[in-house]
């Protein structure tokens, strides 16, 4: 797709919004709007006919909603789908439904929620569409129990590397594709899992309460959105609230969660690096850090710090990643003790004592 325009299909029941999106996307020479659709049925037909690289998908539409359309498209013509939704509690629930249906990512339909500067908001939308189209991997069955991992024709890790130190804390960082990946990993853990878990998922503040509630209903362990002052307890996973930074404070005997407001110069809120650097102060050698699917390299610097202190690092493999960005950064830096499929991560995490 290098040097070729990314082909975009726009799906929305509002003619005004379709026109507005077409104008915005067409302003970027790297993107090409190849078609539009006003409902889910048309979206399925257009996806088959036009074979776009990426689709913007509305959720509520007549005849067929965006979630149903997403299920059909991902089963018949897997394509990177970006959901455009309202950033509210109700919007969060339907967006999470869309992600479970196969959508890759989401952005607010109100561009003011992206940035108060309209030009910046439009630029970010175009950039996201291009990145999703280029980095999207079509879903397929994960291959479990692979003995070696190859990157750039070189074996860089094996799945059988022994954990060097006893584990007392697990920290999982993820971004694009993370909601589904987290559900697949955490649902494999028993209710009596012996360690606390920190979850850092790039997600807006309006979404994280609903996401924590959803995960809690899907998993045997207890999962909650982290509150300031929470004392870490075994068998509980703490999801970093959107818009905040989650740190660990106090001591190893009584570790507590400390939430901080994000600063303007911080790209991610929550940030995986910030949490991992905090973890390194309390659990330098007895942490297991796991980096799952996502764009960018958030988590790499924090894993480097932990690795130097003796911690254990796992990363998701390319084949099972929706977007092989963050895990690839870990693999290329040779930080991973194990590079595992999503299925293997859950299974091997469940075996930790």
Angle at 274 between CA 81 and CA 341, to 5 degrees: 50
DSSP category for residue 113: G
What's the length of the chain?
Answer: 353
CA distance 281 to 252: 9
Q: By the 8 A CB rule, do 219 and 260 touch?
A: no
CA separation for the pair 353, 188 (Å, rounded): 15
Catalytic position from the list 12, 28, 65, 298: 298
* Alpha-carbon separation of residue 31 from 15, 112, 120, 130, 275 (angstroms): 20, 22, 17, 7, 36
Confirm if 92 and 225 have CB atoms less than 8 A apart. Answer: no
Q: Which two tokens stand for residue 32?
A: 């090409």
Cα separation of 86 and 264, whole Å? 23
DSSP letters spanning 300-317: HHHHHHHHHTT-EEEEE-
User: Is there a catalytic annotation at residue 140?
Assistant: no
In the chain, the N- to C-terminal Cα span, in Å, equals 45
Please say if 202 is a catalytic residue. yes
Q: What share of the chain is helix, strand, coil (3-state, %, to 5)?
A: 35, 25, 40
Helix (H, G, I), strand (E, B) or coil at 117: coil
Kindly name the residue from 38, 157, 175, 278 that is annotated as catalytic.
Answer: 175
Catalytic residue among 72, 202, 273, 344: 202
**Catalytic site includes residue 298:** yes
Active site residues: 175, 202, 298
């Amino acid at each position: 797709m290098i040097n070729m325009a990314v082909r975009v299909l726009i799906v929305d029941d509002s003619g005004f919004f379709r026109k507005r999106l077409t104008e915005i996307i067409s302003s970027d020479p790297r993107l090409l709007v190849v078609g539009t659709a006003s409902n889910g049925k048309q979206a399925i037909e257009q996806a088959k006919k036009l074979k776009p690289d990426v689709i913007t998908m509305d959720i509520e539409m007549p005849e067929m909603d965006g979630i149903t359309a997403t299920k059909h498209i991902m089963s018949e013509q897997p394509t990177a789908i970006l959901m455009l939704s309202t950033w509210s509690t109700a919007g969060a629930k339907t967006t999470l439904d869309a992600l479970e249906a196969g959508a890759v990512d989401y952005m607010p339909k109100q561009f003011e929620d992206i940035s108060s500067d309209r030009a910046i908001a439009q630029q970010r939308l175009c950039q996201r569409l291009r990145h999703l189209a280029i980095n999207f991997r079509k879903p397929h069955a994960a291959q479990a129990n692979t003995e070696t991992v190859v990157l750039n024709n070189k074996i860089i890790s094996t799945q059988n590397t022994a954990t060097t130190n006893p584990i007392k804390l697990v920290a999982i960082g993820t971004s694009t594709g993370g909601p589904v990946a987290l559900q697949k990993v955490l649902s494999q853990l028993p209710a009596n899992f012996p360690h606390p878990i920190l979850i850092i998922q790039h997600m807006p503040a309006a979404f994280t309460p609903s996401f924590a509630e959803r995960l809690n209903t899907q998993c045997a362990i207890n999962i909650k959105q982290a509150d300031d002052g929470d004392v870490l307890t075994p068998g509980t996973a703490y999801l970093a609230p959107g818009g905040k930074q989650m740190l660990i404070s106090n001591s190893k005997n009584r570790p507590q969660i400390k939430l901080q407001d994000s600063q303007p110069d911080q790209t991610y809120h929550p940030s995986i690096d910030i949490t991992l650097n905090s973890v390194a102060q309390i659990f330098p050698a007895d942490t297991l850090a796991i980096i799952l699917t996502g764009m960018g390299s958030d988590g790499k610097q924090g894993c480097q710090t932990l690795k130097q202190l003796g911690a254990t690092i796992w990363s998701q493999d390319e084949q099972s990643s929706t977007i092989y960005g963050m895990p690839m950064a870990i693999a290329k830096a040779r930080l991973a003790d194990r590079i595992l499929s999503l299925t293997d991560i859950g299974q091997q995490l469940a075996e930790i004592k």
